[in-house]
Chains A and B, each alone.
Chain A
Amino acid sequence: MRVELRSLPWLSLGIFMLLVICAVFASWIAPHDPEHQSLLARLTAPVWESGGSWKYPLGTDGLGRDVASNICYGLRVSLLVGFISVAISIVLGATAGLIAGYRSGGWFDRIVMPLVDLQLSVPAVLIALAVMAMTGRGLLKLILVIGVVGWAQYARLMRASVLAERERDYVMAARLLGASEFRVLFRHLLPNALNALLVQASVDIPRAVELEASLSFLGLGVAVTTPSLGLRVAQGYQYLFGGSWWPSVIPGLALVLLVLAENLIGDWARDALDPQYRGRAVRVAALAKDA
């Protein structure tokens, strides 16, 4: 596929890469240890406000932790959650959809598809919330929960694609050539659905990032010692009323920037990868599906 350089969303890509660099090289870029508390310097204002200094460019929070450093490490958590959990969703969903579609009407299909409908009718947030509340906090668990909760859409996409493709001549040809079931499924039927899966992933990655932040904000996400942007917003919230806005607002802005960049890149990818989404008429269907 040829991509025109001019059509790339350069600004979003630039911002996204900047945030990724901050996250990957957090241990070099961050000016302080994100967990280090200097109680003497607590609630130091950002450098451009009165009382701020370059020692803490974006100020410190109520425990004297450097806000800038926490953002770098927090972005790391956000990106980890976004990409790994969506990868888990894709693997689970695509495998289930592949089998369900190949043997549509079989016992696997008849068990899996109602489960997909059930999963899609209950918001992921509520399921994730309940599971996290009952099993306790933790980054790894959170990634797993967000990943598992997101499988349904991929199963549905994959199944639809397999149903459309499996009677085509090239699949028949592959089978006649003696290809194993496994080979037909993964070498011939899976690649055809890749674009649709990627488009869905571009929608789900920012959504997973937001879900992590929201759960951590509620105290049901990562452990209190993990530097997560959502958790930092929650911890900085109480100082808002004393006029110290930076411990909560600045991490929140970083989160918005990340999600915004991901959404804009996703919008572009949707137009570029999936001709189905092009044009206005079909967009409605896309919107309805997203919800």
Chain B
Amino acid sequence: MTGFLFARLLRAIVTLWAVLTLVFVLIHATGNPIAVLAPEQMDAAQRAALAAALGLNKPLLVQYGVFMGGVLHGNLGVSYYSNTPAMPLLLSRVPVTLELVGLAIGTAVAIGMPFGVFAALHPDSLADRALRGLSVLGASVPTFFVGIVLIFVFSVLTNVLPASGGGNIVHFIMPAITLAFFRIAFFTRLVRSSLLDSLSQQYVRTARAKGLSEAMVVLKHALRPAALPLVTVFGLQFGQLFAGTVITETIFALPGMNRMALEALFRLDYPIILSYVLVAAGMFVFINLVTDVLYGVIDPRVGHAR
């Protein structure tokens, strides 16, 4: 177990390093921030002074060294735009994003799980087929359109929920549903098919033969192995979910880290972009690690002997 964890941790660090290096190269290969930052009336000397002040005039390799050293200290420079340290600025936006993601996952599981269990216990019933139809629809509506329809119905037509802003829990209701929309359908399908699969296994027959109640059989014996693909997919889905938050935060004007990163992308505010990449990649790697460990906890058959 310790060996496994250590190997995974090492791989996580290498991944982080690779991603950061890639982004550094990409950034310096594509744009010149001075062209964006400097007002038009600035002359060449002033531009050079600005570049020097921001450390952009040094050789690339030196900039890379400074950048990597900064990563180790959690210091990624000062935001070109707001002139405050980039990392703390970005970190101050993280809780909003985490709250949004957490609420969305909670919503998706809370609705998708019972739906999926119901569909698996009544396969090919009318409700099952209706749920299947709905799940294809759920997969076909782009996140931004879900948000717009929700705003139209609940803010414009009926005025029950606020369309934008953050802070209050009320502001998170529509964004969370928007983000969860596709996942509800997805989790329903997933729980349904993996539960159907485990219901036909020997151990379920054994449990039934023991005379356990049907509820006990489903909840205790069938659902647990059925949760395994759920955990895997959850790890894989996290990335997608995270990407969806960019759109959701933008539509609902939530002050999360993704919206800040998107604004920084438009302004070529490199320290913010790099901080974002570091935080986002760190989250990815962390989630993957947790998924791997959870895997063994839920299904001891898997083990960590790999």
Given contacts A118-B15, A123-B242, A131-B26, contact A214 B142 (CB under 8 A): yes
Q: In the complex, which residues 172-212 of chain A have their Cβ closer than 8 Å to any Cβ of chain B?
A: 206, 210
Residue A256 contacts which of B145, B156, B229, B268 (CB distance < 8 angstroms)? Answer: B145
Q: In the complex, which residues 232-270 of chain B have their Cβ closer than 8 Å to any Cβ of chain A?
A: 232-233, 236-237, 239-240, 242-243, 246-247, 250-251, 262, 265-266, 268
Asked whether B24 is an interface residue with its Cβ less than 8 Å from the other chain, the reply is: no
Q: Is the CB of A134 within 8 A of B31?
A: yes
Bound Cα distance A252, B145 (Å): 6
Given contacts A130-B26, A241-B163, A288-B233, contact A123 B239 (CB under 8 A): yes
Q: Is the CB of B236 within 8 A of A260?
A: no
Chain A positions 255 through 291: 1 when the CB is less than 8 Å from some CB of chain B, otherwise 0 = 1100110011001000000000000110110011001
Could you jot down 6 A-B contacts, CB within 8 Å?
Answer: A125-B243, A135-B30, A218-B262, A256-B145, A260-B137, A287-B186
Residue A214 contacts which of B31, B144, B189 (CB distance < 8 angstroms)? Answer: B144
Tell me, rounded to whole Å, the shortest Cβ–Cβ distance linking A190 to chain B.
Answer: 28
Residues of B within 8 A of A131 (CB): 26
Main secondary structure of the interface of A (DSSP, over half): helix
Asked whether A245 is an interface residue with its Cβ less than 8 Å from the other chain, the reply is: yes
Q: Is the CB of B141 within 8 A of A240?
A: no
Please name 15 further chain A to chain B contacts, defined as beta carbons within 8 Å, in addition to the given A121-B284, A263-B140, sorted by A numbering. Answer: A122-B239, A130-B26, A214-B247, A217-B142, A218-B246, A240-B152, A256-B141, A256-B145, A259-B141, A280-B196, A287-B193, A287-B229, A288-B229, A288-B232, A288-B236
Bound Cα distance A255, B284 (Å): 30
Asked whether B197 is an interface residue with its Cβ less than 8 Å from the other chain, the reply is: yes
Q: Is the CB of B137 within 8 A of A287?
A: no
Q: Is the CB of A218 within 8 A of B250?
A: yes
Given contacts A130-B23, A260-B136, A263-B140, contact A284 B148 (CB under 8 A): no
Q: Is the CB of B156 within 8 A of A241?
A: yes
Chain B positions 13 through 47: 1 when the CB is less than 8 Å from some CB of chain A, otherwise 0 = 00100110001001100110000000000000000
Asked whether A3 is an interface residue with its Cβ less than 8 Å from the other chain, the reply is: no
Q: Is the CB of A259 within 8 A of B236?
A: no
Asked whether A21 is an interface residue with its Cβ less than 8 Å from the other chain, the reply is: no
Bound Cα distance A131, B243 (Å): 14
Q: Is the CB of B136 within 8 A of A233?
A: no
Q: Which 10 residue pairs of A and B lie closest in terms of their CB atoms, listed nearest first? A: A133-B265, A125-B243, A260-B140, A134-B30, A123-B239, A252-B145, A123-B243, A291-B236, A259-B140, A217-B144
Residues of A within 8 A of B186 (CB): 287, 291
What residues make up the interface of B, taking CB atoms closer than 8 Å to A? 15, 18-19, 23, 26-27, 30-31, 136-137, 139-145, 148-149, 151-152, 155-156, 163, 186, 189-190, 193-194, 196-197, 229, 232-233, 236-237, 239-240, 242-243, 246-247, 250-251, 262, 265-266, 268, 280, 284, 288
Chain A positions 102 through 122: 1 when the CB is less than 8 Å from some CB of chain B, otherwise 0 = 000000000000000010011
Given contacts A123-B240, A237-B148, A255-B145, contact A280 B193 (CB under 8 A): yes
Tell me, rounded to whole Å, the shortest Cβ–Cβ distance linking B160 to chain A.
Answer: 15
Residue A134 contacts which of B26, B152, B242 (CB distance < 8 angstroms)? Answer: B26
Tell me, rounded to whole Å, the shortest Cβ–Cβ distance linking B295 to chain A.
Answer: 13
Given contacts A288-B232, A288-B233, A291-B233, contact A214 B143 (CB under 8 A): yes
Closest to A120 in B: B236
Bound Cα distance A259, B145 (Å): 12
Q: Is the CB of B284 within 8 A of A264?
A: no
Asked whether A5 is an interface residue with its Cβ less than 8 Å from the other chain, the reply is: no
Asked whether A249 is an interface residue with its Cβ less than 8 Å from the other chain, the reply is: yes
Q: In the complex, which residues 217-253 of chain A have their Cβ closer than 8 Å to any Cβ of chain B?
A: 217-220, 230, 233-234, 237, 240-241, 243, 245, 248-249, 252
Bound Cα distance A261, B30 (Å): 38
Q: Is the CB of A284 within 8 A of B247?
A: no
Indicate the member of A133, A219, A243 with the most B CB atoms within 10 Å.
Answer: A133
Residues of B within 8 A of A240 (CB): 148, 151-152, 156
Bound Cα distance A287, B140 (Å): 15
Bound Cα distance A121, B156 (Å): 39
Residues of B within 8 A of A259 (CB): 140-142
Bound Cα distance A131, B142 (Å): 21
Asked whether A129 is an interface residue with its Cβ less than 8 Å from the other chain, the reply is: yes
Bound Cα distance A211, B249 (Å): 17
Bound Cα distance A70, B258 (Å): 30
Tell me, rounded to whole Å, the shortest Cβ–Cβ distance linking B105 to chain A.
Answer: 14
Asked whether A213 is an interface residue with its Cβ less than 8 Å from the other chain, the reply is: yes
Bound Cα distance A121, B149 (Å): 31
Residues of A within 8 A of B19 (CB): 122
Q: Is the CB of A283 within 8 A of B140?
A: no
Closest to A287 in B: B190
Residues of B within 8 A of A218 (CB): 246-247, 250, 262
Closest to A124 in B: B243
Q: Is the CB of B136 within 8 A of A255?
A: no
Asked whether A126 is an interface residue with its Cβ less than 8 Å from the other chain, the reply is: yes
Q: Is the CB of B193 within 8 A of A284?
A: yes
Given contacts A217-B247, A240-B156, A291-B240, contact A249 B148 (CB under 8 A): yes
Given contacts A131-B26, A241-B163, A249-B149, contact A233 B144 (CB under 8 A): yes
